[in-house]
Homo-oligomer: A and B are copies of this chain.
């Protein structure tokens, strides 16, 4: 449809140049190249993380996982596991990576149990930073985490301290999408109340979850309506199931109770479809873009700044002369010296202060980048590892 060297009738139009085919050229290339997506699931065990992932992507990612008994879990430290599957659909290839955090919140003392998760995300950024700065950038493996589904227990009265701690520790590093797990234990009214409470607390604790981009004014009403519903369904109340049951004559994925059948893909029963549509069909690319343009760029800027500061200290210690400016390959290009370094830092700080007046950045993005600046202090976690 979109690529052919021969000109279609409309192309014969004397006023038609043909660059309108550019999006199709991009489309075509993207299909050839294939896609990748890295999804992290976090939350205490037993909330159906694995089941949901399997339901979302209709694949069995955890064939060979071994469950730990209570004793093993008491002192268990949070380990990070990675599963990758190559799936194809209508000719579109997707390399899907699921990052799981078994044991999160399972120990008796869960102080800083989010640390290893935060470190994992930073390590992916650091690796990408090294690769992106390297000599040969041909086959860079991008393992940055594009989204984190954070599972909230349906039993807690709103958020629990651990939930708040986790999300606040990670919201500058990854797109967090809160999930209200095992919603089949809650009545519709209870779901509505809990969602409201949780949204309220997220606001109140200054947690910055993934912001859906505002839809443009030129969108049709139906789309706007659906977009609004999407925003109001946070946290997504989900029910997972990989077993197929008989419901009103047709076979559906669901859970069979004595009092009835819970249908996973019935939007009056839960938000599974809403979540899948958002995560996979409408916002997957945006999740990747925000990761690249906001979270990674913030990490990178902090990294460069702390490195620059170190170099400047180093310099002053070594009392080097201006000529040696050349040992700043990047970002300072040959012949650039300290003053330039400081200038760059000033510029960044400027940029941060004026973020709100940045002409082209989307509101919610501005917010994020502004917030992130607050982290750009020596208290930055990576400093420890660098020392």
Enumerate chain A interface residues (CB-CB to B < 8 A).
Answer: 3-7, 11, 14-27, 29-32, 35, 37, 56-58, 87, 89-92, 94, 126, 129-130, 133-139, 216, 222-223, 226-227, 230, 253, 273, 276-278, 280-286, 289, 297, 301, 304-305, 307-308, 310-311, 314-315, 318, 320, 324, 326-335, 344-345, 347-348, 351, 358, 360-361, 386
Cβ contacts A to B, 9 pairs, < 8 Å: A4-B223, A18-B281, A26-B27, A26-B285, A29-B285, A129-B330, A307-B329, A329-B332, A330-B330
- Given the interface contacts A135-B301, A347-B136, does A23 sit within 8 Å of B19 by beta carbon? no
| Contact among B6, B7, B310 for A222, CB-based, below 8 A | B6
Decide: A331 and B135 in contact? CB cutoff 8 A. Answer: yes
Decide: B304 and A329 in contact? CB cutoff 8 A. Answer: yes
Chain B residues positioned under 8 Å from A301 (CB to CB): 135-136
Decide: B327 and A21 in contact? CB cutoff 8 A. Answer: no
Most buried by B among A329, A331, A334: A329
Chain B residues positioned under 8 Å from A7 (CB to CB): 273, 277, 281
Prevailing SS type, chain A contact patch: helix
| Contact among B3, B58, B361 for A15, CB-based, below 8 A | B58
| Contact among B3, B14, B26, B226 for A6, CB-based, below 8 A | B226
- Given the interface contacts A15-B58, A137-B297, does A386 sit within 8 Å of B27 by beta carbon? no
- Given the interface contacts A17-B87, A22-B284, does A331 sit within 8 Å of B5 by beta carbon? no
Identify the 3 closest CB pairs spanning chains A and B, nearest first: A25-B285, A5-B226, A133-B330
Chain B residues positioned under 8 Å from A135 (CB to CB): 301, 304-305, 331, 344-345, 347-348
Chain B residues positioned under 8 Å from A137 (CB to CB): 297
Chain B residues positioned under 8 Å from A308 (CB to CB): 329
- Given the interface contacts A301-B136, A324-B318, A327-B315, does A22 sit within 8 Å of B4 by beta carbon? no
- Given the interface contacts A136-B347, A329-B329, A361-B138, does A335 sit within 8 Å of B386 by beta carbon? yes
Q: How many Å from the CB of A214 to the closest CB on chain B? A: 12
Chain B residues positioned under 8 Å from A277 (CB to CB): 5, 7, 18
Decide: A307 and B282 in contact? CB cutoff 8 A. Answer: no
Decide: B89 and A360 in contact? CB cutoff 8 A. Answer: no
Chain B residues positioned under 8 Å from A222 (CB to CB): 4, 6
Decide: A324 and B334 in contact? CB cutoff 8 A. Answer: no
Decide: A19 and B314 in contact? CB cutoff 8 A. Answer: no
Most buried by B among A20, A216, A223, A347: A20
| Contact among B20, B91, B386 for A89, CB-based, below 8 A | B20
